Chains A and B, each alone.
Chain A
Amino acid sequence: MLKIKELHASVEGKEILKGLDLEVNAGEVHAIMGPNGSGKSTLGNVIAGREGYEVTRGEVAYQGKNLLELEPEERACEGVFLAFQYPVEIPGVNNTYFLRAALNAQRKHRGEEPLDSVGFLRLVRERLEVLHIGDELLHRAVNEGFSGGEKKRNEIFQMAVLEPKLAILDETDSGLDIDALKAVAEGVNQLRSPERAIILVTHYQRLLEYIKPDRVHVLSEGRIVASGGPELALKLEEQGYTWLEDGGIAELEQAAV
């Protein structure tokens, strides 16, 4: 579904991604771990097409298309979803209204009729139930005054309604207490499906106790330096990221050979 080759990307002239390779298939959950500043969030932003993230080299193929040629909203309509590390507040814009506008924009892109408010509300209720989220989020403005946990849950809720093909969760676990973390993880697990690929970008192994990834990748200084199964995440947790710099990369490469 997603094939990234030799990706180089800069922000404000500074190269952050330095030759990143990654391949993710439908139905898989991949975790990308790495220390602060390794380029984790940059990867998500480049895939989503955020302005200011300049791709200088490499390819990103999504469902056989060159993703880099598409506008951010086209990527979204093609099924690329980014759950934000810091979901943005839009004062005065009702959450339900926002989500319906998004869904209908995506439906229009697919050549489908817009959902009327009745149909939309039915869909929303159904998703809320699956995710065990109360409907109080519906009546508020987009993320305005939400707690950290509410914001992250709202991201998962949006994902559930929009049903993307490729979802990137950018540090969705950060700043959550254990109950909120469990709730978010449960939501993500509900959305695992053979047609959907999920990339979890995270600093901590903690999240992976609740969402079992198929693959774990270690990102360091803009490149994937190691890939493996869930056991790799445990190893990182044990040793800490400084271990990477202290010869851990060599050790991992050794192990991979």
Chain B
Amino acid sequence: MSTESGTIEKRLGQKYRHGFVTDIDADTVPPGLSEDVIALISAKKNEPQWLLDWRLEAYRHWLTMEQPDWARLDIEPIDFQAISYFSAPKSDKDRPQSLDEVDPKLLETYDKLGVPLHERARLAGVAVDAVFDSVSVGTTFKKELARAGVIFCSFSEAVEEHPDLVRQYLGSVVPQRDNFFAALNSAVFTDGSFVFIPRGVRCPMELSTYFRINALNTGQFERTLIIAEAGSHVSYLEGCTAPMRDENQLHAAVVELVALESANIKYSTVQNWYPGDEEGKGGIYNFVTKRGMCKEADSRISWTQVETGSAITWKYPSCILRGENSVGEFYSVALTNNYQQADTGTKMIHIGKNTRSTIISKGISAGRGQNAYRGLVKVLPTAANARNFTQCDSMLIGKHCGAHTFPYIEVKNPTAKVEHEATTSRIGEDQLFYCLQRGISEEDAVSMIVDGFCKQVFRELPMEFAVEAKALLEVSLEGAVG
């Protein structure tokens, strides 16, 4: 077995593929956080007074809060005064009116990332809103979507064009004071995506946002708000990358979903932020609050996430199942390699009658990675006949990694049924030998076994992204077993 660890380490040394820096003139606010900086951000974005007030309220509350430490994470102290809270490519001063006006270098960046911003987007039928550092640089397919009555734009644009909608729903699922990082985001968020699907409309294409952190010492604080009116359907995907930097960079986003009667929101994430180097230097702190509200009857919210990047991932995409018969789903693949840490899971809050939730979590740990699943299933007294099924599987690759499971279950209604299954397996030496004995190479065998392990989650992703997720996992894991 002596060869095993050698091969593992050799092949785990896979380099981060998106680690390039784009050399662009950026308009960056000096590091530091104060009411003045927040006012400056708000002014740069031509925001109305109510929004500035909302930000300041969040900021004042944030000052009274402490960074939580309950997660199973080892986090270097964050100096919030050393972060720049706004960075925009310079050319944004005269905001591009169409994609043709976008800085070609930026487009090249997206090209390298494989973001289908141009014709590729058209072919793939994907509308992309790309957020670069702090601002949204162009949204494709706007016209096609407008015809269906769908609004898909940057958050800043939504503030200008659809202030009533923003004002009505902003903070309605994740309040400003929700938690430390959500409060910080509420104070300083710079951009993000806004989606509105009107009553009865089935969004004609997949919506997609790509986030990229480029500038040095910049935090990224985007805010996404998706509203699905009664009977509407939408499938939304976000992808994330960042260049290689020795310093840790903070990404503290907030995502809010609102599903009205019989609406259906499917939110998928393929997260590949820079994970840091083999020694654990650098990498993104991915501290995100994602929550969906099934506000009315028969609505459904489904989270699917494939988390392969970031030095530290700390997020729990959750569902508040308020409407009767509403459904919440969480499908997750989280991979940690080298010194990556992840503490991720979900919360399913059952409030309405006959609400159902499903949680499928697949954690893969390799190298010295630490992977924790943390999930809460809460059934309130009002949630008669609530149902939850949780399946939580961990796979360990190598001998120095860890997997941890923290399920919390609170049931306050006797008619509820909650099931929890958990397994932990080491990537079978047996499985591996079985494949080798049939002539399959080690590398193919590992990706085959891991892919099989994640299948339940991958099949929830839109087709083209399932392929991407699978490829990403293969890259992140190449040679994880010897």
By a beta-carbon cutoff of 8 Å, the part of chain A in contact with chain B is: 48-52, 71-73, 75-77, 81-82, 84, 87-93, 98-99, 101-103, 105-106, 109, 141-142, 158, 162
Contacts and interface: CB of A to CB of B under 8 A. Distances in A.
B146 interface: no
Interface in B1-35: 1, 3-4
Interface stretch (B45-53, B181-189, B335-343, B438-446): B438-446
Contact of B431 (A71, A88, A101): A88
Contacts of A82: 437
A111 B477 CA distance: 28
B359 to A, nearest CB: 18
Interface stretch (B55-63, B109-117, B369-377, B450-458): B450-458
B455 A102 contact: no
B433 interface: yes
Nearest to A76: B439
Given A92-B453, A98-B440, 6 more contacts: A51-B3, A88-B428, A93-B448, A93-B449, A105-B441, A105-B444
Contacts of B451: 92-93
Given A93-B449, A98-B448, A101-B444, A72 B456 contact: no
A109 B436 CA distance: 13
24 contacts: A51-B3, A51-B433, A52-B1, A72-B433, A73-B441, A77-B439, A88-B434, A89-B431, A90-B431, A90-B434, A91-B453, A92-B452, A92-B453, A92-B454, A92-B456, A93-B448, A98-B435, A98-B440, A101-B440, A103-B439, A105-B444, A106-B439, A109-B439, A142-B452
A141 B439 CA distance: 18
A73 B431 contact: no
A102 B455 CA distance: 20
B433 A162 contact: no
Given A90-B452, A92-B453, A92-B456, A76 B438 contact: yes
Closest 4 CB pairs of A and B: A92-B452, A92-B455, A102-B438, A93-B452
A105 B452 contact: no
Interface in B147-174: none
B448 A72 contact: no
B4 A51 contact: yes
B430 interface: yes
Contacts of B431: 88-90
A51 B453 contact: no
Interface string B442-481: 1010001101111110000000000000000000000000
B144 interface: no
Contacts of B428: 88
Contacts of B453: 91-92
Contact of B436 (A76, A87, A142): A76
B480 to A, nearest CB: 16
Contact of B434 (A77, A87, A92, A162): A87
Contacts of A106: 439
A104 to B, nearest CB: 9
A72 B445 CA distance: 13
B434 A84 contact: yes
A75 B429 CA distance: 18
Contacts of B442: 73
B422 to A, nearest CB: 15
A73 to B, nearest CB: 5
A142 B434 CA distance: 11
Contacts of A87: 434
A72 B436 contact: yes
B440 A73 contact: yes
Contacts of A72: 433, 436-437
A228 to B, nearest CB: 30
Nearest to A86: B430
A51 B434 contact: no
A136 to B, nearest CB: 19
Nearest to A89: B431
Interface string B249-276: 0000000000000000000000000000
A51 B456 contact: no
A76 B434 CA distance: 11
B439 A48 contact: no
Contacts of B440: 73, 98, 101-102, 105
B449 A90 contact: yes
Contacts of A48: 433, 437
**Residue from B429, B441, B444 having most chain A Cβ neighbours under 10 A:** B441
A88 B448 CA distance: 14
Contacts of B433: 48, 50-51, 72, 88
Interface in B65-115: none
Nearest to B455: A92
A67 to B, nearest CB: 13
Contacts of B429: 51
A51 B437 CA distance: 11
Nearest to B453: A92
A225 B437 CA distance: 29
Contacts of B456: 92
Contacts of B4: 51
Contacts of B437: 48, 50, 72-73, 75-76, 81-82, 84
**Residue from B441, B451, B452 having most chain A Cβ neighbours under 10 A:** B452
A51 B1 contact: yes
A68 B201 CA distance: 65
B427 to A, nearest CB: 11
A216 B1 CA distance: 34
**Residue from B1, B438, B440 having most chain A Cβ neighbours under 10 A:** B438
A79 to B, nearest CB: 10
A97 to B, nearest CB: 8
Nearest to B449: A90
Interface in B398-452: 428-431, 433-442, 444, 448-449, 451-452
Contacts of A84: 434, 437
A211 B383 CA distance: 63
Contacts of A90: 431, 434-435, 448-449, 452
**Residue from B428, B431, B440 having most chain A Cβ neighbours under 10 A:** B440
Contacts of B3: 51
Nearest to B438: A102
A84 to B, nearest CB: 7
